[in-house]
Each structure stands twice: as structure tokens, then as C-alpha cells.
Amino acid sequence: MTQGRASGKVILFGEHAVVYGRPAIAVPVTDVQATARVEAAAPGSGILIHAPDIGQTIDVATAPADEPLSFTVRRTLARLGRAWQDLDLSLTLVSSIPVASGLGSGAAVATAIVRALTAHLGCPLDKKEVSSIVYETEKIFHGTPSGIDNTVIAFEQPVYFVKGRLIEPFAVRRPFWIAIADTGLPSLTRESVADVRAAWQRDRQAYEAIFDRVGAVADAARAAIEEGRIAALGALMAENQRLLRRLDVSLPELERLIEAAQRAGAQGAKLSGGGRGGNMIALIEPQQADAVRAALQAAGAKRVIVTEVGK
């Protein structure tokens, strides 16, 4: 048996504007992970994907071309020059990453598949190649993905990302803590990205100005993280959230959690990811973790993850 793992991720700054060429910052969330296990199967059985978390078994031979898990298997094997028809494998997927919540569940599962398959066949790929394969799967999930999920998850470190440019991993001078709270509502990234695109097409000048400001916030946040000025991140989160409201991707459920975190002492808070559900994040001190967690749960959070960035 061969295993491949991948962590979740969270976007700190820059969501939605990143699709339009502005920078975004994302970091791995190692507290939640996807795991893929590959084993040899009986001759003639082909490749079966077992996903007990969602109660599915998928036969690669009969799955639709746009089924994400089988697509990832086929794409990976094609990259290795192997025909999926010639292989008999059992692939089992388990994940602790909440689905449709902005934590990169789809990209993490795809990354785990690529890592497990390539290791099992003795042909591991470098991080850039893994990211490239997973990006193709992301197109199925999200339509026009930014590329940030596959990048940060495949490279396993904080990244400054601008679409179409070289990836820029960067150092966290002083570790900091964030709380990630799940609204319990699915974040349908494909739909929110499409809605923002439609609004942009109606009024490009106004939306380009918003995207410019989101990009400037992300640049300021990177400088603060690299210089260890963690206190500056709180105000930048508030500004980013104000701009995301103007893009109409927040919801009352997200706003309720943001307000609860701030009342409990968080230095800043914002939604993370596609919005319209999913997660919000809050900048906290480690000694505030219990109080912030309790406040978020009281405000309706279905799950709260507290993680250290740059540890």
C-alpha cells in the first residue's frame, strides 16, 4: 500500500481579485488533511476509487469524463505515460477537510491522489508538475479557478500568488494564529466567481478599481508578514472584508461570525475563499483561542479550527 497526503489551505487575502491578475496570499492548514491510499487489485478489476466519506465507489473505466476523481487518475497516468486500462488498482480516499468551505478540499484530494499514484508507480513528480495536474481538476470544480488552491497545497508553504507569474513562496518572520470558522453553508465557488464575473462585465471600471484595492491590501499584508508586523494584519483584514462586501460575496451568516470573533477579542476577521458560505478567518493571540472558539460556536459556527501560521 502506498499513501499520499495533502493539507488544506486558507486564503488570507485577495480572493476573487486574484482571478483578475491581482495578488493573493494563501497558507497551508496542516490541521486538516486528505489521504489517498493505493493498493494492487485483482487482475481484471481495473481501477476503482473508494470514497467512503461521500459514500461512493467510482470505476475509472465507466466514470464520466468530467468526474473529478477519475479525471485526476487519468490525467496523472497520462503524465506518466501509463494507460489506465492496463492497471488494476484500488484507491481509497479519506479526508478531514470540510467540503465546499474554502479550505481547498477538492485540490487537496486531487493532490493526494497524484502523490499516491506516482509514488506507487515509482515515478514521483516535482511540486510544480503536481500543481499543474491538480489545476486541471480545479477547472472541473470551479470553472475558472485562480490557481491558488493547487499552488499552495502542492507547494506546502505560504505563497504570494499572481496568476500567470512565477509562484513566490515567502517567509513568515513571526508566526501568528488564526481561527477558521465554518458557517456550515457550502461555498459554491463556481457560482460566486461566475456572479462576480458577470458584474465585472457590466461595470468593468468600478470592479477593476475594487480589484486594484484588494491587490494593494494583499501587498501590504505580505510586507507586514515578512517584516513581523502582525498587528497590522487586523486592519488589513477589515479592509479586505469591506471590499468583499462590495463584490456581494458575503452573507449574514459570515457577518455574524466575523462580529462574534471581533467581540471576543480578535484583531481582525474576514471571509475566506469564494464566500456566500464556507469559512471566515480571524486573527487572534494564542491565549484567546478558547474564548474566540466559544464565541464562534455560540454564533453558529459548525466547526472551528485554530492553527498557527509559519510554525
Catalytic (active site) residue 149: yes
Give me the catalytic one of 66, 149, 248, 290.
149
Q: Secondary structure of the chain in the HEC alphabet?
A: CEEEEEEEEEEEECCCHHHHCCCEEEEEEEEEEEEEEEEECCCCCCEEEEEHHHCEEEECCCCCCCCHHHHHHHHHHHHHCCCHHHCCEEEEEEECCCCCCCCCHHHHHHHHHHHHHHHHCCCCCCHHHHHHHHHHHHHHHHCCCCCHHHHHHHHCCCEEECCCCCCEECCCCCCEEEEEEECCCCCCHHHHHHHHHHHHHHCHHHHHHHHHHHHHHHHHHHHHHHHCCCCHHHHHHHHHHHHHHHCCCCCHHHHHHHHHHHHCCCCEEEEECCCCCCEEEEEECHHHHHHHHHHHHHCCCCEEEEEEECC
Residues annotated as part of the active site: 149
